Structure 1
């Protein structure tokens, strides 16, 4: 079908008029934005909670925060065409409250005096997950031999988190971060020790020269440490004959003696150990 120039012009004008009447989303969004920016309010004065509820219905806004702040307060209401921010400011005038708009669009009620204080930025604290929250220290046989400890005080002398009280080995109690060993789980080669002995005595009388490894844990211990470890745990592992004898040797021993002029005391200890035909034996005095 062919059209003359006049008919083409008439068709173009008709199409333009028709397109102008179509509901373009952009046009409606702009109109809705303009309408939301300013609304007609006619909210009478009354209890602040009631006025805020009416404002939320009219404006479609959410009122959050501590709503108890609005209890027993009166509002003068609002009448006229305002933006939601302006209308809410008039509603809260004279109440001692202010409202801040959160990024999600909700209004949060706050005390006017508290709102005037400086608000610090959030601080996030994280800890590496590959480490246990339990604080533990452990010594293996090599480290114990390097220290050459004469008693438990010598063994832990380089650890600020562990202290040992008492002047002689029989009353040297171990404290891990201030917690006494009587409040901890103490084991020797996995066997639980009696820590309810006379309060002047230590839980164990151990010669560090016979220790293969030791571990001290502060705080609530892991479940596999065993029961009674809410205050922490002390685990001692004693040597085997093979840890003391050089390869090829079948018999060995040591003797230790000390004299303390303070108190005029002599301390001595000795051990004999050996192995033969698949059997091992160790004696200590």
Structure 2
């Protein structure tokens, strides 16, 4: 464990004891001061836009992003080992997605072979995804949408009448060299209006077995996460202040999402770490004119790769992001208007020694973006709803030192959006929407930033998104469908040169996607089912995307999803089945390469309340129930030169068991 981790965890250990010491100060009135947020899926949400609530997260026994998101419409997660997982939304990579955790933006992209979005599922309260360029409130640079993650606080964990508590959880995954996870949390009221939560998660995963029973090496990892969160409830005022640190370490090849297909890759020690400080304040007095929300944050993300044999540095990068978002929502009669300003400042230090020595490089870059926005919803009549919004974003980027020293890229632009929903009858709604999003030149991947040079002549990336949707919901039955077309103009990518410089950042053309998503299902009081399908055809400059389009996306076969949920009348258990079928995808990698083969995966899961309440829970899940061998289409696949798959196959059957006790 690093020294910084030790200091943070020592502080958390002291914080965890505080609720117990102050429990006697609690007042019964505090129990009614907090109403937990209800996360529901309503007819207005299009397929591909979803809310994952805490119940779904616990039921899946999620250990990583793949467990959380793989069965959601419009989303694919590839990579094999958790440290190499990448999220694709409608075929585009998460680097084009605006991701926030408790309101704190997470823009850092560190190393193209490793995940950008580090999220520990254990204390997530909800995950909300809005796919495609959309509302002005989605934030700056949301070219393919926004994903908002909220974490739990002390009030979410306290049972009625409880002033302090402790949560202990043990989880084991049985596959290959197996995995183990331990969770400890202390929480309670410091007074009738203040709550404190302190958590620690440790997970140790070994090399896994694929569907053929073969050991996949090197994929073992270690994951640690710690957080302290103070929450206050004072009449019209509420606030949350939190400090979170995640660290992932492991020994992989230089490219951790690939096998040693060249025979010369060196095992390297990898470490990624993220530390986030976030503050959120909400002010909602009586009346409709004011509903203020203020978020401020500072995020520091860093990575380091060293060759295992010599200790020689391969690559290192550190990015800090500091920013805020201030918004107010006013409502009057049938009109609701949200307006505000946001700002973010990024600074990157990075270096790489992966190339021949003449091309070793370092860089220091800064970037800022200031935005002003407004988004309004007008229920003109019971049948018609109009939504319209506008953002203005001003980007400023500068190379401070190193290979891009002196380069400047400054640009500002407006981004409008408009949608119209018609409800001719109560059960049926039709929607048409058009939106634009703008991402000026900002800091790109840390590793590539110390390898590829800025010349200062780039245009920002502009996205437009057109969607048409239909939804029907009546007596528990629902059917929804969306068709979409999106373009991203002037996409910025790294282009190899090999002359005076290794390469340059350039506008390489237009990226586009055409696709659709559809879902039908039915819900009863204790049972529900759904069947969905989604497909996206992604291109860059007229050609299909392939696995080498790092930072942009890849081609994924048409995907079918199915789910079934059942809770017995005793309400002491939950059972579920999740299944997905991915069809073959035509080869777009290289001449002579095979098509990406399709696959079908079934997961089953259950939770039992052993004492009739939520004090003692037993969870079980079997992922890849039929032990299928497959390569996820989001995983780097075939290499024409060696005529072999160089990415890691997905894990075979894994049994996950967990036991959680709250007291």
Greater per-residue helix proportion:
1
Question: Which one has more relative contact order, counting CA pairs under 8 Å at least 6 apart?
Answer: 2
- What's the TM-score once normalised by structure 1's chain length? 0.48
More strand by share: 2
Larger radius of gyration: 1
TM-score, normalised on structure 2?
0.22
